Amino acid sequence: MFRRLLAVGPFLALAVACASPTLPLPPPEQPVLGPGADADHITLTVACGGAEAGALIVIVNTNTTVPGDQAVSGAIVNSCGGWDATPYAHNGDYLDITQEIGTEVSQPLVLQVQVP
């Protein structure tokens, strides 16, 4: 009987471990801000390791005067964890930046736009 318990014990521990919650998806790292192609856009750049490879980066400009079709932009993270995007934004605007993998969504990184 004792040997059976020892044999089954690791499998039981594995089953319990698989049922336990995983760590939440972290927000992406803060991007480097730069000027965009025109006065209405900025560039956001993150080098390798700034997000999970293959994740979807979603950028929402929370300025209520920005039209809805211009308030949302994003990117797909490359294989080394880097990404870049060119959202519609002006100095002083706040951007909520999240990463999504499947049904998991990170907490937002809130970034105030300050481009010289």
pLDDT in tens, 21-67: 678 999 999 999 999 999 999 999 999 999 999 999 999 999 999 99
For residue 72, give every residue at least 6 positions away whose Cβ sits within 8 Å of its Cβ, in sequence order, or none. Answer: 58, 59, 60, 61
CA–CA gap between residue 8 and residue 101 (Å, rounded): 34
For residues 83-104, give the mean pLDDT: 98
- What does the pLDDT read at residue 97? 98
> So where are the chain's domains?
24-112
- What does the pLDDT read at residue 22? 78
Range 24-112: architecture per CATH: Sandwich (2.60)
DSSP 27-41: PPPPPEEEE-SSTTB
102: phi > 0 → left, psi -120 to 50 → alpha, else beta; which?
Answer: left
Q: Is 20 or 59 the better-scoring residue by pLDDT?
A: 59
Q: What percentage of residues in the chain have a pLDDT greater than 90? A: 78
For residue 89, give every residue at least 6 positions away whose Cβ sits within 8 Å of its Cβ, in sequence order, or none. Answer: 40, 41, 42, 61, 63, 95, 113
pTM given for the model: 0.80
Which residues is 32 bridged to in the sheet?
45
For residues 73-90, give the mean pLDDT: 98
Whether pLDDT at 12 is above 80 = no
- What does the pLDDT read at residue 31? 97
